[in-house]
Amino acid sequence: MRAGAGAGGPGPGPRLRVVAFPHAGGWPSAFRTWWQVLPADAELLVAQLPGRGARIGEPPLTRVEPLVEALSRDLAGREPLPYVVVGHSFGSVLGYELTRAMEQKGLPPALLAVSARQPPCFPSEPPFAHARSDADLLEHLMDLGGMAPQLMTRADLVQPVLRAIRADLEAMERYERPLSGTGVPILALGAVDDPVVIAERLHLWSLETTGGFRRSMFTGGHFYLYAHANAAAIVRHLLAGFPGPPDGDRGRHLPRRPETVPGGDPERFPGEETP
């Protein structure tokens, strides 16, 4: 799903691209705050996986490999632009593997940002979250702030959300560290008050790259990445290495919200409602 300058609005096309992957079960609207803080000449491209959003009628996939194959094929077929990749939680796994796939195609991003996910050298171990009962999984999501309380009485909404979350969790928990890493620089992001991720492990993402490495920490729990202030700070990190717009094009660099968002609702956060 595209937002920002690439969403069909008036004016020149985008100058750069941010490719984003939300958390397990996440919809593209998870990144709604990012639409507000990205410069107007940046295209935001958010993965909309099977089983959610406009694809809610499709069965979700439970392995990383077919997801990345389809995502990399789609991205490679788009207009070439300088770009960065950012993934949150489960999205970090997809972002890392997409980066490796795009390197193999000769189309690597300038930077990979991984958020709220331990590095692959710490594989998931049983008991796996994807195998929990619906009640236990819902309780876990409520504790993390990943499920709106008003959904709990709507079985017609909860079940599709749970199917997507369970599929993503299975893909993440069955994922195995690849034999080789990436040459793309990595920025590891996390929250000091995240109850899921051990913050001290984030620096070990440095083992997955032969490029540069940085780490930046925030507050806000497991879903800190979507808070407006944190989103603005992270965007500055991501785009710091890109040259500014030409002098005659400075006005396009001001942040703005997209006027139209194909396939999504900018006021809807994943887990709150469905169309």
Q: What is the pLDDT of residues 39-68, one digit of tens each?
A: 989 999 999 999 988 898 899 999 999 999
pLDDT of residue 143: 72
Mean pLDDT for the chain? 83
Which runs of consecutive H residues, i.e. helices, occur in the chain?
32-37, 64-76, 90-104, 134-144, 155-174, 228-239
First-to-last alpha carbon distance for the chain, in angstroms, is 16
Decide: 188 and 114 in contact? Cβ < 8 Å.
yes
Cα(30)–Cα(51) distance, integer angstroms: 15
| For residue 245, pLDDT beyond 90 | no
Cα(75)–Cα(46) distance, integer angstroms: 11
Greatest alpha-carbon span in the chain: 58
Cα(74)–Cα(117) distance, integer angstroms: 25
Burial class, 118, CB count within 10 angstroms (exposed 0-12 / middle 13-18 / buried 19+): buried
Give the type of residue at 37: V
